[in-house]
Amino acid sequence: MIHVAAAVIDDGAGNIFLAKRPDDKHQGGLWEFPGGKVEPGESSEVALARELDEEIGIKVNQVESLIQIPYHYSDKSVFLDVFRVTGFSGEAWGREGQEVRWVPLNELDSYPFPAANKPILNAVLLPDKLLITKAYSSVSGCISGTESAINAFSLTWFMLRQKQLSEEGYAHWVRTMRAASQLNNRRLILSCSVELANSLKGEALHLTSQRLMAMSNREEFSGRFLGASCHSLEELNKAQLMQCDYVTLSPISPTKSHPSTPVLGWKAASNIIAQAALPVFLLGGMNQSDLMQAKSIGAQGIAGINAWCS
Ligand SMILES: Nc1nc2c([nH]c(=O)n2[C@H]2C[C@H](O)[C@@H](COP(=O)(O)OP(=O)(O)OP(=O)(O)O)O2)c(=O)[nH]1
Ligand SMILES: [Mg+2]
C-alpha cells in the first residue's frame, strides 16, 4: 500500500487548486489534489508540507484532516490521506511544469480525476453541518422553520425528512419548497423512495437503512448524491457497496427524537469511521459544540434535527 498525502486547498473565494498529473506517471493525464508519497519515518502532515513546497511552491502552516481513502487500482494500491489546507503562505504555481488551475466548486465534477478521488470530491462538495428537518404540520411552517435555522447557523444543505407525509404530500411539499424564495438556493436532500426522488429529479437522496439494505444497484438513483442512514458496520459496508456518496451514523448520543434507541457512543463511532472510505456525518444527540470532536475522529461533520436550535 503506497501511503500518499494530498491537499485540498481553497482560495477563500470558493475555488479549489488542482494540478494535472504528467502523462507518463501513474494515473497520468488526470487532475489531482497536489501531494505525493509519504517517505519512511515521515508523518503525513510533514510529507504534505514537503510535497506542497516541492510541487507548488507554498509553505503550509495549518491543515485539518479531511478524509482517508484506501483504494486498489489494478496495478497498485494507494492509501490517500487527504487534508484541507487552512493556512499557507506564498502563491501556488506549477513548480514541476505541470498544468495547474483554481477551479470553482461547481465545476469540480466535470474534471477527470483518478477513480480513488470520488470520496475526496464528495468531502469537498458536502457541508460539515447538515440540517434534518423536524416534522411539521404544514409546508409553510416547514419553510419558515427551515429558513430561520438555515440563516441562524449559516447552513447550505438541508434534508427534508417528513415521515408523516404520503408520497403525494411529500412531492407537493418539495415543489412548494423549491418555489420558496430562500430555500431554492440551498441544496436539498430528499428523504423518500428512489422512485419518487427520480421523478422529482432530485440531485440528492437520503435512504433509510431499510431502503439502503433493499437497494441492489447505485444506478437506480439518477441524481448526483446518494446518502444513507447507517447504524452499524454492516450497514456501512452495504452503503459502500452501493457507492453511496456519504452516510449518517447514528445514534452517537441520546436524542429526543429516538429516546429509547441504544447509542453507539464516540468510541464505536470512531471505529466504524476508520472502516469508511466516504464522508460520515455523526447524528443523534449532536450539537454545534460537537463539530470539532466529530472532525477529530475523522467524520465529515454533524447532522441533526435538534442540533440547530439556538
Ligand atoms: N497527489 C495525488 N495522488 C493521487 C491522487 N489520487 C490518486 O489516486 N493518487 C495516486 C496517484 C499515485 O499513484 C499516488 C501519488 O503519487 P505521486 O506520483 O503524486 O507521488 P510523488 O508526488 O511522491 O511523485 P514521485 O516522486 O513518485 O514522482 O497516489 C490525488 O488526488 N493526488
Ligand atoms: Mg505528487
Average pLDDT, the chain: 96
In sequence order, the β-bridge partners of residue 190 are 160, 205
Q: Is 17 touching ligand 1 by the criterion CB < 6 Å?
A: no
CB 286 within 8 A of CB 280: no
Tell whether 117 is covered by a domain.
no
Domain range for residue 203? 129-304
Q: Is the pLDDT of residue 310 over 70?
A: no
Q: Are residues 78 and 150 in the same domain?
A: no
Whole-angstrom distance, CA of residue 294 vs CA of residue 283: 10
- Residue positions forming the annotated binding site for 8-oxo-dGTP: 21, 26, 32-35, 117
Q: Are residues 86 and 135 in the same domain?
A: no
- Cβ neighbourhood burial of 304 (10 Å; 0-12, 13-18, 19+): buried
Grid coordinates belonging to 141: 411552517
Whole-angstrom distance, CA of residue 304 vs CA of residue 283: 6
Domain final position from 52, 85, 112 = 112
In this structure, which residue's CA is closest to atom 22 in ligand 1? 36
Q: How far apart are the first and last CA of the chain?
A: 46
In this structure, which residue's CA is closest to atom 30 in ligand 1? 32
Q: Is the pLDDT of residue 199 over 60?
A: yes
Q: Are residues 42 and 145 in the same domain?
A: no
- pLDDT-derived band of residue 166, with 50, 70 and 90 as boundaries? very high
Q: Is 78 helix (H, G, I), strand (E, B) or coil?
A: strand
CB 130 within 8 A of CB 281: yes
- pLDDT-derived band of residue 145, with 50, 70 and 90 as boundaries? very high
In sequence order, the β-bridge partners of residue 226 are 205
Whole-angstrom distance, CA of residue 283 vs CA of residue 100: 38
Q: Are residues 134 and 108 in the same domain?
A: no
Q: Is 171 helix (H, G, I), strand (E, B) or coil?
A: helix
Q: Tell me, what CATH number does 155's domain have?
A: 3.20.20.70
- Please report which ligand is nearest the Cα atom of 4: 1
Q: Which helix (H) or strand (E) holds 268?
A: helix 265-274
Whole-angstrom distance, CA of residue 69 vs CA of residue 276: 8
Nearest atom (ligand 1) to Cα of 120: 31
Tell whether 118 is covered by a domain.
no
Q: Are residues 96 and 187 in the same domain?
A: no
Tell whether 86 is covered by a domain.
yes
Q: Is 32 touching ligand 1 by the criterion CB < 6 Å?
A: yes
Whole-angstrom distance, CA of residue 47 vs CA of residue 262: 41
CB 308 within 8 A of CB 136: no
Q: Tell me, what CATH number does 63's domain have?
A: 3.90.79.10
Strand order of the β-sheet with 100-104 is 31-32, 15-20, 100-104
- Residue positions forming the annotated binding site for Mg(2+): 35, 55
Tell whether 46 is covered by a domain.
yes
Tell whether 122 is covered by a domain.
no
Q: Are residues 65 and 190 in the same domain?
A: no
Q: Picking from 18-32, 82-96, 227-241, 253-267, which range would have the lowest pLDDT averaged per residue?
A: 253-267
Q: Is 119 touching ligand 1 by the criterion CB < 6 Å?
A: no
Would you state the pLDDT for residue 257?
74
Domain final position from 83, 112, 141 = 112
Q: Are residues 65 and 145 in the same domain?
A: no
Q: Is the pLDDT of residue 67 over 60?
A: yes
Whole-angstrom distance, CA of residue 270 vs CA of residue 249: 10
Would you state the pLDDT for residue 266?
98
Q: Are residues 88 and 231 in the same domain?
A: no
Q: Is 18 touching ligand 1 by the criterion CB < 6 Å?
A: no
Average pLDDT, integer, range 175-203: 94
Q: Is 191 helix (H, G, I), strand (E, B) or coil?
A: coil
Whole-angstrom distance, CA of residue 122 vs CA of residue 112: 14
Q: Picking from 29-33, 110-114, 140-144, 304-308, which range would have the lowest pLDDT averaged per residue?
A: 304-308
Residue 195 CA, chain-centre distance (Å), reads 23
The CA dihedral of 289, 284, 145, 247, to the nearest 10 degrees, is: 100
Q: Are residues 170 and 216 in the same domain?
A: yes
CB 190 within 8 A of CB 202: yes
Substitution candidate for ligand 1 out of 4, 21, 26, 98 with most atoms within 8 A of CB: 4
Residue 93 CA, chain-centre distance (Å), reads 27
Domain final position from 63, 86, 112 = 112
Whole-angstrom distance, CA of residue 83 vs CA of residue 73: 21
Tell whether 124 is covered by a domain.
no
Domain count, the chain: 2
Q: Are residues 40 and 145 in the same domain?
A: no
Tell whether 120 is covered by a domain.
no
Q: Is the pLDDT of residue 309 over 80?
A: no
Tell whether 205 is covered by a domain.
yes
Taking Cα atoms as reference points, which of 155, 196, 195, 194 lies closest to residue 175?
A: 196
Would you state the pLDDT for residue 27?
96
Q: Are residues 205 and 77 in the same domain?
A: no
Q: Are residues 98 and 244 in the same domain?
A: no
Average pLDDT, integer, range 48-63: 98
